[in-house]
Structure 1
Amino acid sequence: MAEPIIQIHSMTRKYELGGETVMALQEISLDIQKGDFISIIGPSGSGKSTFMNMIGCLDRPDSGEYLLDGENVGKMKSSQLADIRNEKIGFIFQNFNLIPKLTAFENVELPLIYRGLKTAERRKRALEALSKVELTDRAHHLPPQLSGGQQQRVAIARALAGNPPILLADEPTGALDSKTSKGILNIINSLNQQGHTIILITHDLEVAKQASRIVRIHDGQLYENGGVWFADYQNGTEEH
């Protein structure tokens, strides 16, 4: 078997809050293979956001290792982490994070400008990304002129434009109704089938079930899928 695209070994992250030490992540270990579709599920305060920040190279562990494509990102400089985020990870957020005064096309094009691509190449990639989410006919609309589902598709196109191997989706359907959510999840499933590694962060078990692997995070610890906790989680009766 090929080396995992992500290898996390005994990762720990703690914070000081009100004079007390809070263990946000406790000795977490996880391997993710290239092409995996994995859901990280857990309630608010479970450590999901901290874990997402680690995987997305937005924060560093206090101890342990995080290897991305065999490189220890925990030892990289901030400028190197920025390059990793720009080239290897596409982010999809719950609240879209689009710039209201830029068109859909311009929002998708923006990260490519930061990468220093020439105008013709930027235009080609941005239009291709919008085509993948079936929004070329809305390319010149501003975000306030788009529905919530259309805005999320623009956000997905922005994440895709740089052709990153990893897509990190943080509650991608959290601000959408059930019908629109289904369409967004269909797009994410399609992207996985095209070869993208998908890491989906959610509190919703039904959304998590879209993935081929489900990992629960609770009190800063990870538990692989299986066992009775699925029913307990769904019913809100899991043990603490």
Structure 2
Amino acid sequence: MEDKPLIEINQLVKTYTMAGEVVPILKEISFSIEQGEFVAIVGPSGSGKSALMNMIGCLDIPSSGSYLLDGQEVSSMSENRQAQVRNEKIGFIFQSFNLLPKLSALENVELPLIYRGISQKERHAMAELALTNVGLADRTHHKPMQLSGGQQQRVAIARALAGDPPILLADEPTGALDTKTGKEIMQMLHDLNAKGHTIIVITHDPEIANQAKRVIRIQDGQITEDRGVAS
């Protein structure tokens, strides 16, 4: 049997109603992503890339069209089922890190595992391993304010990785970092891709996009380019 793409998007449309007027955000978007790809979705502010990220991340559903994630139609799922799929299949990495300031690095990484119903002992071990894998074994009990920006993003990556999801969805992952630290974070994403994770980076920065193996360019809610980058 032929392997299905990990992500399959077909004729996806998203509209919002503002002041009684229907505003199209995404216009019949179609593409697929295979397991193990490293893809950048790039476009300027207002292009629709954030709306597309929300669709891919199961944070929103399309107005029409189809989104199959690992063979399952997302738009027909209940909110609870969407949340479950999101938690199991997708690890999120945000520009602003989205760490809870009163929790330690370890507790921040454990959070998604709590929602999966994993026992305290097991999730503690999983979180420690994830922090070790991003080079922060000696920072497990530090609060976010005690960490540098690069270290905070590493905690966010550890949190995304802890449950071993097949997809890592990174929204402007280097946006709040200096150039050197940004390069280290991108190298970390490349290393994770080499280990089999599917990486999707959302960015407005062509330099970041060009580090991916495939670039999908979006403008005015439509795909204007979808190219592989020679490895």
TM-score, L = length of structure 2:
0.96
Offset at residue 225 of structure 1 (A): 3.7
Match status 1:5 vs 2:6: yes
Q: How far did 1:22 drift?
A: 1.4
Aligned partners of 2:11 and 2:224: how far apart in 1? 14
Q: State the partner residue of 2:218.
A: 217
TM-aligned CA deviation for residue 216 of structure 1: 0.4
AA matched with 2:195: Q
Tell me which amino acid in the other structure corresponds to 1:14. T
Residues 1-240 of structure 1: matches in 2 within 5 Å?
Answer: 2-226=3-227
**CA deviation after TM superposition for structure 1 residue 223, in Å:** 2.6
Secondary structure, in 3 states, of the residue corresponding to 2:54?
helix
State the Cα distance separating 1:224 from its structure 2 match: 2.9
What do you get for the CA RMSD once the two structures are aligned? 0.9
- Inter-partner Cα distance in structure 2 for 1:84 and 1:169: 17
Distance 1:214 1:223 in 2: 11
Q: Deviations over 1:98-153 (max 9, x none)?
A: 00000001100111111111122111110111011100111110000000000000
Structure 2: runs of 5 or more not aligned: none
1:165 and 1:207 map into 2 onto residues whose CA distance is 21
Distance in 2 between residues matched to 1:173 and 1:93, nearest whole Å: 9
Equivalent pairs, count: 226
Q: Displacement of 1:19 after TM fit?
A: 3.2
**CA shift for structure 1 position 88:** 0.4
Deviation string for 1:205-228 (max 9, x for gaps)?
0000111000101000013345xx
> 1:18: Cα distance to partner?
3.0
Distance 1:32 1:225 in 2: 11
User: Which piece of structure 1 moves more, 195-204 or 112-121?
Assistant: 112-121
Distance apart, 1:2 and its partner CA = 2.4
Distance 1:110 1:71 in 2: 25
CA distance in 1, matches of 2:226, 2:76: 31
Please give the secondary structure, in 2, of the residue aligned with 1:66: strand
Distance in 2 of aligned mates of 1:197 and 1:223: 22
Q: Deviations along 1:26-63, whole A, 9 cap, x unmatched? A: 00001000000000000000001100000000101011
Partners of 1:32 and 1:190 in 2: CA distance: 19
